[in-house]
Amino acid sequence: MSAELFDDFSYTGIADDNLTSRWWVRTTDGAPGVAGAQWLSSNVSFIEDPDLASNRLLRLKATTSGSGASTSHAEIQSNDDRFRLGTYSARVKFSNTPLTGTRHLADKLVETFFTISPWINDPETDPNYSEQDFEYMPNGGWGQGNTSTLWLTSWETATLENTQSNQVAGDQSGWKRLLIQIDESGSRYYIEGALLCTHDASYVPETNQHLDFNLWFDELAAGETGPRTYAEDVDWVYFAKDVLLSQAEVDARVAGFRASSAALVDTLP
C-alpha cells in the first residue's frame, strides 16, 4: 500500500505534541447540538484499553444535567484534509447507557465517525462541500422515536435537501468496525464487514476532507436534572488513498502495524 494513514491513538493526552500536530480538539461554541452547550477539550482523553494492556483508546465524553448551560460535548478532527477517494475505516465503541448517571430516552445523543470538507465557503450553497456520516443515536431521535438508530448520510451541501441518507434501526452498542469505500461511482457504507447502503455518484466528494469524531446531544430530557455522562471510545482510524479495501483487508493492515509496534503510519502525499 503506497499511500495510507493509520493512527492507533496512543497519545499521552491532549497536550501531546504528536497529537496537536495532527489533530484539533474543539473548544469553539456552536452547532451542532443543543443551544448553550460547550465543546470542552477536557472531554477528550486517552485511556488504557481494559481489554488489551498494551493499547490505549481515544475517549470522547458528553455530559448534561438537562439544560443547555449544563451540557458539554466533544470533538476531535484531523488538522489536514488529505482524504478524498479510497477506504475509510475506524473501530469505534458505541454506548447505549451513560458512564455515570441515569439513561433518559429523551436525551437524544449522537455518537459519530465522519468525514467533512473544510468550510471555506458557505457550506449550505457550496457545491464542493461534502460529508459522509456514521451517526448512532442510542436513544432514537430525528423522527425515529426512542428506537436506537444508526444513520448513514452523504452530503452534497450542508442542507438536508442535498443529502442521501439511510437508517438502520436496532442496537449498535459495543465495538463496531465502520468502513466507507468511496470512488467516482459512489460511496458504500459497511459495519462489521456487512454492506448497509450505497449512495450515488452525485454525493462523491469533489474536494479533500478531514477525519472527524464527535459526541453531542441534539435534544435533552429537560425535566431530568441529575447529571449523566456518555462516552464514545475509538481504538484506531485508517485510510487508504484511491484503493477500495474490504474490512478484512483493513484488519490485516491494522494487525500488521500492531505486530510491528507502529502506532502511527502516514505515507499520504
pTM above 0.85, yes or no: yes
CATH code for position 251:
2.60.120.200
What's the number of domains the chain is made of? 1
Structural domain that includes position 212: 4-266
Report whether 113 contacts 213 (CB < 8 A): yes
Through-space distance between the first and last CA atoms of the chain, rounded to whole angstroms: 13
What percent of the chain has pLDDT above 70?
100
Based on its alpha-carbon atoms, the radius of gyration of the chain, rounded to whole angstroms, reads: 18
Question: What pLDDT shows up at residue 171?
Answer: 98
Per residue in 31-86, pLDDT (tens digit) is 999 999 999 999 999 999 999 988 999 999 999 999 999 999 999 999 999 999 99
Locate 122 and state its grid cell. 458557505
pLDDT exceeds cutoff 90 at 202: yes
pLDDT tens for each residue of 139-171: 999 999 999 999 999 999 989 999 999 999 999
Can you give the pLDDT at residue 121? 78
If you average pLDDT over every residue of the chain, what do you get? 97
CA 40 to chain CA centroid, Å, is 17
Instruction: Quote the CA–CA distance of 181 and 86 in Å, as a whole number.
Output: 6
Dump pLDDT digits (tens) for 79-127. 999 999 999 999 999 999 999 999 999 999 999 999 999 987 788 888 8
Beta carbons within 10 angstroms of residue 78's beta carbon:
21
Q: Which residues of 147-178 are buried (b: 16+ CB within 10 A; e: fewer)?
A: ebbbbbbbbbbbeeebbbbebeeeebeeebbb
- 98 within 8 A of 79, measured Cβ to Cβ: no
Instruction: Report the C-alpha gap between 27 and 107 in whole angstroms.
Output: 22
Give the pLDDT of residue 205: 97
Residue 62's pLDDT is 98
